[in-house]
Amino acid sequence: MALTLHILAHELERVGIVACEPVVGASSFEDARLFVDKDVNPRFLYLTDDPDIPEQHSSKRLSFLYVGDYGQPTPPAASAVVFTNIGLLEVLRLLQDVFLTYGTWERTMDASIIADEGLQKLFDLSTRFLRNNVIVCDPALKLLAYTKDIPCDDPITTNLIRSGYHTKENIQLFRRYRRPEVWERQSGLVINDSKAYCKYTTAVYSFKANRTFSLVIVMMCNVVEPEEYLLDTFMLFLNRVGHYAKRDFLSDPKTSPAKDVFLIDLIENRIRGEEVIKDRSQLLGIPYEGRFCLYYMDTSQLHIPRGRLLSDIALRVNEVHVLSLGDALIAICFNCGKKRQLACDRSLHPTATGSVASRINEVLVENEISGGRSIGYPNLGSLCCTFLQAREAAAMSSGMTPSPFHRPDTRFRNIIDFDEYYLDFLIGRGVIEGEDLLRKTQWDAILSEIWRYDEKNRTNNYWFLYHYLLCERRPTEVADVLHMHRNNVKYRIERIEEEFGIDTSDPILRFNLLLAYRILGGELLAKQQQLKPASEGLLGA
C-alpha cells in the first residue's frame, strides 16, 4: 500500500498550511518516518524540522516533509512543507493515522474482492473516500453499481439510477458529444470540465478490451472538485474495480458478460419498451428483429462442470449465444432461418454440418441431460416469454410418456418442443387444491362413459370417435385409417350419437371432444392401442 504526496498533503491541511514543490525523490510512499540518517528508504517520506537536511540529502533521492512554524522560509529541496503550530511528533502521528485509515480501506476492498462480494460492495466501502457521486456501467450502459449515500441532482445520473440503464435521451446526448469514442480510445483519467451536457465536472476512466471499453466509471464532482489528491484516491479505488473488469467484463463477440447481463435482464423482464430494447441491442451488436428461438438446459444433474458444457455448446454451435443462469444454461439462436415466417422449423437452422438443434441435441445426449425449446419469436421483446416456454418444456421432459397425440422428432429426442407439448403444460395446471378440474368437465364425462361402455361390451367406439373427429368426419379418410368400408362409417357414427346423446355436426362439440381426448384419453388410448390392432372390434356396437 502506497499513498501519494497529494493525498498526504491534503490530510495535512487539517493542521496547517501545506505547500508542495516539484517532487524530489518518490511521488508515493509506503510509510512516514522521522529522519535520523540511518537505514533510509527511498519509498518512505521523512519528516524533519531542520531546513538544511533536505538540501544535504537531495542527492540520495530521498523525499522530505519539512515541518516548521508559520513565517519560516521554505527549504527548496523539500518535497512538501507544512507550517503548523503543532510539533514534529504530532505531525508524524497524524500521518501514521492517515496510512492506517487508507491501508484499512484498501485491505477491506481486497477482502471484499476475495469474497467475491461484487462491485456494489466495493462502492459501499469507498463512499467516504470518493466523496463524490460515482457510477459504473457496462458496454450496454447498464448501471452496475453507484455511491448510494451521496445525493446527486444531475438529470443524467438520476435517470440512470432510476431506470438502471442510461435512457435513450442520455445515449443520444452521449453520441452528440462523441463520448463513447472517448471511452473507447483515450487512456487514463479523462477530465471534462466543459459542462456541455453535465452541470458538473466529470472524471471518467474506461477499462479497455477488444478495441472497446468493458467498463466505464464516472466520477461526477458534485461535492468536491477533482483536485489531485481526490484523483489519486480515485485511482486507488479503480485499481480494485479493475479486478472485476478483467475477470468479468472482457468484451468478446460471443461470451461478453455485457451481452449476458443484457439478455438476462430481458429474460427476467427488467427491461421493457421496444425503443429501449432496440437501443441496448444496437450498442451490443445484437439483432433486435429476426427469427430467434431459445433453448433451456437444466444442469442441476450434470456430471461435468457447467463451464465445460457451456464451452462445448459454444464451440459446436457458433450460431448461438450461450449463457449461464441459475442452475441452467441458456442457448439463444439468432439465426433460425432465412425465411421470415411464423413457424420456425428446426430444419431451417442453416449450417453446413447439421442443424442447430441437432448439434445441441448431440451435446445433450453425450451428457445424458435433456432440454426444452421455445417457439420461434420475432424480436428480443419476446425473450421473457420464450425463456418460460423453454424452461417449462425442459421440466416436462422428465415425465414424458409415449402418446399417440404427439409426433416427436426422433432426431432430437433430448429436446422437448413447447409447441408440441403446450397442451400437456396446460393440462398440468388443471389441478387446484388436489382436484383435477380439467378431468371433470362435461366432455370428459362423455368420453369416460364411452370408454366404460367399450370395456363392458368389448367394442371400440372410443377409438372410432377419435379418428372420426380427427379426420374431420370424411368417411373415406376414416375408412382408410381404420381399415373398414366407408359405408359402415355413417352407420357407426349414427349409433354412437344415438347411444351417447351427442351431435357431431356441432363444431363446438367437436372441438371440446378433441380437447377432452387430449386431456383425459391419452393414457387410455395408448393402453388400448397396445391391447388391440386398430381394426379389431371396430364394427361391434
Q: Residue 451 falls within a domain, yes or no?
A: yes
- Last-in-domain residue among 379, 401, 427: 427
Total number of domains constituting the chain: 4
* pLDDT score, position 356: 83
The secondary element (H helix, E strand) that includes residue 4 is strand 3-4
CATH at residue 362: 3.30.70
Question: Most distant CA pair in the chain: distance in Å?
Answer: 125
Are residues 89 and 121 both part of a single domain?
A: no
468 grid coordinates: 372420426
Summarised one tens digit per residue, pLDDT across range 64-123 is 999 999 888 888 888 899 999 999 999 999 999 999 999 999 999 999 999 999 999 999
- Last-in-domain residue among 52, 86, 110: 110
Are residues 293 and 416 both part of a single domain?
A: yes
Q: Residue 208 falls within a domain, yes or no?
A: yes
Are residues 37 and 165 both part of a single domain?
A: no
Burial (Cβ within 10 Å: 0-12, 13-18, ≥19) of residue 505: exposed
Are residues 142 and 72 both part of a single domain?
A: no
Q: Residue 393 falls within a domain, yes or no?
A: yes
Helix axes 274-284, 168-176, angle to 10 degrees: 40
Amino acid present at 81: V
Are residues 521 and 488 both part of a single domain?
A: yes
How many other C-beta atoms are found inside a 10 Å radius of the C-beta of residue 406?
16
Helix axes 507-520, 522-531, angle to 10 degrees: 70
Summarised one tens digit per residue, pLDDT across range 488-531 is 999 999 999 999 999 999 999 999 888 888 877 555 554 455 43
Share in percent of the chain as helix, strand, coil (round to 5): 50, 20, 35
Summarised one tens digit per residue, pLDDT across range 139-187 is 778 889 999 999 888 888 888 888 888 877 777 787 777 777 777 777 7
Domain that holds residue 214: 116-248
* Whether 249 contacts 261, CB under 8 Å: no
Are residues 338 and 309 both part of a single domain?
A: yes
Amino acid present at 248: D
Are residues 235 and 174 both part of a single domain?
A: yes
Are residues 203 and 231 both part of a single domain?
A: yes
Are residues 313 and 389 both part of a single domain?
A: yes
State how far the Cα of 16 lies from the Cα of 118, in Å rounded to an integer: 39
State how far the Cα of 424 lies from the Cα of 372, in Å rounded to an integer: 14
* pLDDT score, position 442: 86
- Last-in-domain residue among 217, 248, 279: 248
Query: What are the two backbone dihedrals, phi and then psi, of residue 176, each rounded to the nearest 5 degrees?
Result: -60, -40
Q: Residue 277 falls within a domain, yes or no?
A: no
CATH at residue 76: 3.40.1390
Q: Residue 241 falls within a domain, yes or no?
A: yes
Are residues 121 and 220 both part of a single domain?
A: yes
306 grid coordinates: 457447467
* Whether 65 contacts 45, CB under 8 Å: yes
State how far the Cα of 205 lies from the Cα of 136, in Å rounded to an integer: 10
Q: Residue 105 falls within a domain, yes or no?
A: yes
200 grid coordinates: 458538473
Q: Residue 258 falls within a domain, yes or no?
A: no
* pLDDT score, position 344: 42
* pLDDT score, position 97: 96
pLDDT in tens, the chain (541 residues): 799 999 999 999 999 999 987 665 668 899 999 998 887 888 999 999 999 898 888 777 788 999 999 888 888 888 899 999 999 999 999 999 999 999 999 999 999 999 999 999 999 999 999 999 999 988 778 889 999 999 888 888 888 888 888 877 777 787 777 777 777 777 789 898 888 778 899 999 988 765 567 788 999 999 999 999 999 999 999 999 988 887 766 544 444 667 888 888 899 888 878 888 888 888 777 888 877 889 999 988 888 877 788 888 888 887 788 888 888 999 998 765 444 443 344 444 443 346 788 888 888 888 888 899 988 888 888 899 999 999 998 888 765 555 556 555 555 678 888 888 787 787 777 778 777 777 778 888 898 899 889 989 999 898 899 999 989 999 999 999 898 998 899 999 999 999 999 999 999 999 988 888 887 755 555 445 543 444 344 434 3
State how far the Cα of 513 lies from the Cα of 88, in Å rounded to an integer: 97
- Grid cell 463451464 is found at 307
Are residues 294 and 416 both part of a single domain?
A: yes
Q: Residue 29 falls within a domain, yes or no?
A: yes
pTM of the model: 0.61
Are residues 159 and 29 both part of a single domain?
A: no
CATH at residue 240: 3.30.450.40
